[in-house]
Amino acid sequence: MPTTVWLLKQKTFLINLMASPGAGKTSLVVKTINGLSQEFKIGVIEADIDSMVDAETVAAAGVPAVQLRTGGFCHVDASMVTKGLEGLEVKELDLVILENVGNLVCPAEFDTGAHKNVMILSVPEGDDKPLKYPLMFSLCDILIVNKMDYLDFSDFDLEKMRERVLNINPNIKIIPVSCKTGTGIENWLDWLRVNCV
């Protein structure tokens, strides 16, 4: 049975969170836990080539977390996610967040079985990333533009980036945030509130 179908039967919503290293995946996960843990039962699958650091950070936030060590692979696929789900009490969870391996190439090429694909682009990375990694932007349902607190200190053009992304994927929802200051996080949480049902 496909992962998505199985999770729907369990009434568990799975999101696949993708981004470059340092874009703020773990920070967004922790913000999500802090903002929604009173409303939803949340679990996290942390995928990394070798490190346990992110899983330990998430576990410290008070939710169950499992670590997927990819053994050198720069992505996870549905079979790996299924193994990760086996380490969680999925029937007790409303939302599972898969924090994929930090990479804008490989993760876009593999189906994880998630209900929705979410990408983070951070301001320091530049507004030209949609031109360089169109596949990633084409398959995501949500684009989180993180580190908006850096905007005044960079040449990042938010409107130019928005135009480039929408040319690739007219249906994507774009949410600017700052995990550092909390700006825009409530808009992300509201999207989850609507979709995690």
The domain that holds 104 is classified in CATH as 3.40.50.300
Give the number of domains in the chain: 1
> CA-CA distance, 194 to 40, in Å (whole number)?
12
For residue 129, the enclosing domain spans: 3-195
Strands (E), 29-141: 42-48, 65-69, 95-99, 116-122
**Beta-carbon neighbour count of residue 102 at 10 Å?**
20
Averaged pLDDT of the chain? 89
Confidence of residue 159 (pLDDT cuts 50, 70, 90): very high
> CA-CA distance, 165 to 11, in Å (whole number)?
31
Higher pLDDT, 49 or 82: 82
In this prediction the pTM is 0.91
What is the average per-residue pLDDT within 149-167?
Answer: 97
Question: What integer pLDDT is reported at residue 2 of this predicted model?
Answer: 53
pLDDT at 59 over 80: no
Type of residue at 126: G
Question: What integer pLDDT is reported at residue 135 of this predicted model?
Answer: 96
Measured CA to CA in angstroms, residue 74 lies from 49, 101, 117 at distances of 7, 6, 17
